[in-house]
Structure 1
Amino acid sequence: MRRIQAGSALSAFGLGFTVPYLYVYVAQVRDLGATTAGAVLAVFAMAALVALPFTGRVIDRRGPLPVLVGAAVLASAGAVSIGLAEGVPAVVASAALLGAGTAVMQPALATMLVWCTDATGRTRAFAMQFFLQNLGLGLGGLIGGQIVDKSRPESFTLLFGIEAVMFLVLAGIALTVRLPRPASLQQPQAARSGAKGGMRVLLGHKAMVQLCVLGFVLFFACYGQFESGLAAYGTEAAGIEPSTLGTALAANTAVIVLAQFVVLKFVERRKRSRMIAAVGLIWAVAWLLAGYAGLGSSSQAMATAAFISTYALFGLGEAMLAPTVAPMVADLAPESMVGQYNSAFALVKQLALALGPAIGGPMGAALHGPYIVTFVLFSLGITVLAIRLGRQLTPVQNQPYLAVSSRVVAQHRPAEQVEAAA
């Protein structure tokens, strides 16, 4: 578990080096223009959408380890080639490799965490992964910002080279891991039959379908707006300086890093559906603060503070989601289909991240009032969807701590009660 978490954090560190600067690199450093840069970002997302539908079946048939190693090597090749590419075809092809590799890593890592934990320890494992990945992304972006220089293309080549090395380090660490092998994968015929009916089984699983719908709304209303719609709204409606956007993102990361384990103690003994419903209410308040920042009726300092607080509240909600949503996907999955369930949820996330900027960006820039109202309603929709999902979950799926409590009670039954029961 420690090795998997360390490798995941290092790969996030590598991504943090390059992702914030990919647009600038393509459009300005390589002088390929804004249109090409937009196409590169679109290809980066589309490659994930193409690769993920096939990923889960391979994970369930072959295990997550070879999939993770292959994806890390693919992403490393993409990072190296994009750092050396100068023409449009080379940059676009490199972005496709990098996008596909990084996307496939997500369900592979998630499945490895599932194999290394039981239902009761899974909450903490996914919370730790989220904490370390955010810490890695934040540190990578901070250090990368000190290295990059638009007048020196070789500085960007160095960044992509460091990212490539981090992916190879992840692959090397993964190869040292000896995973416990679930009983379902020791029965090839059962695994093959589960894989063939995988999509049909998943679509017939009402709770999982509802969780995917909820996940789409979660990622669309939060992550899909960070660097597009909300940033455009802040600069256009609230008069936020571009440099303040970096401060707001830093506040988001700081809240996650500082609050994650405090929040975990509060969340892990409570119903997951209620915690997700609470996130919807917190994010509704965050969007209202963003609306206040754009009213223009307060001082610039107050508007800036409200806007930064929006990102901070998003961070609090993210810290509450980390130990609830991802472990729930694993707990809903049949043992022979964990990879397919994780891949399906990753695909839903990627769709939300692709559509979020496309819809939110223009709205945030031009339709200020409707933009805020729309995402306040989306946030309240999260609360409604979470409450409905809770009705589809078993008590242990909704509150894994019940399994711990029942075992503790069983272990401490007095001897005379045991004899009487016998």
Structure 2
Amino acid sequence: MLYYLFDYLNSMDIPGAGVFQYISFRAGMAAFLSLLITITFGKNLINYLRKKQVGEDIRDLGLEGQIQKKGTPTMGGLIIIAAILIPTVLLARLDNVYVVLLVIATCWLGIIGFLDDYIKVFRKNKEGLAGRFKIVGQVGLGLIVGLTLYFNEYVVVREVSPASLASIEVQDYQQDPDSKIEFKDVKSTKTTVPFLKNNELDYGKILPFVPEKYTWIIYVLVVIVIITAVSNGANITDGIDGLAAGTSGIIGLTLAILAYLSGRIDFSSYLNIMYIPNLAELVIFCTAFVGACLGFLWYNAYPAQVFMGDTGSLTLGGVIAVLALAVRKELLIPILCGIFLIENLSVILQVSYFKYTKKKYGEGRRIFLMSPLHHHYQKKNIHEAKIVTRFWIAGILLAIVTLATLKLR
């Protein structure tokens, strides 16, 4: 909303009002405001949750320091959601399809996570929201995101004439693209493939025997799988203090860089990646996302004063998935979200191997001391603060590799 106010003031030649035209300024303001909201109002939320006795019911898994966490307020994801949405609504352009889609995704998954936490805390049902209802919610969001990205007329890839690009300054182009340069906006189902020279995959050509008019079905199915997998991956990762928030913040910052590069013609041309008009506006959302994660760590770092609950973890994972899809870098998710992936795989491998050995030998055996993987290290008597720090370092390394794929082909 402030963008439109300052745009109006700028049209009246009010000095300084034009600064809101710069994405970099609004992105920095979004991060600052998000941090301010989280740190300032986080304490109030914690006190309110304690007053309402909204505490986590901890199961005794034999982990050091676990029982002491019993009664710690949960549903702290509410402050994360607020810290993402408020700066975005205030500072981003609300006529941008990508921004609107991310706002919808944040609210949608926030509601699903809130219902799950509400049932656990107030209904005293440890199972929370039934798994089938979570899946229905994630599939529903996948349908919305997939259909929007496929059919919306403003979701395009801009193909620019190399000759006209070389003849003009980028700054002039950004001010008046229609009259300054030759380009063609095309609907495309292409995405980026890491480490390959001609690094684009067209969903329409994955199954050659499927008619082109049915490509949208393949694309939507892929979107549903990605959103469901990453959302659940973040949910599983949220097991020890600061792990999910810190990891998500690293991923969010990486996606902000990718959105900025893909949304600028000069950088996308230099890196030989798809130029996606209007995508750079997502940087404001991304920096608000990063600010919310970092601000939440103020209270969630060991020893945690509040847990995000499914309200936060499902939202963080789903938002990351939608961001990656919007930037057309979803095939980088196994690298960028490698922490989520390995946490997911540790659970799948543990359960599968246990069932297999029980059927074969009559006694179930385990690969890890406990799953997800962070609990395995806790069982090895490594302090959870050290585990979290090492996982963050691994996340930073994965983020660097992700960015390096832009040139390593």
TM-score by length of 2: 0.28
Name the structure with the higher helix share: 1
TM-score by length of 1: 0.27
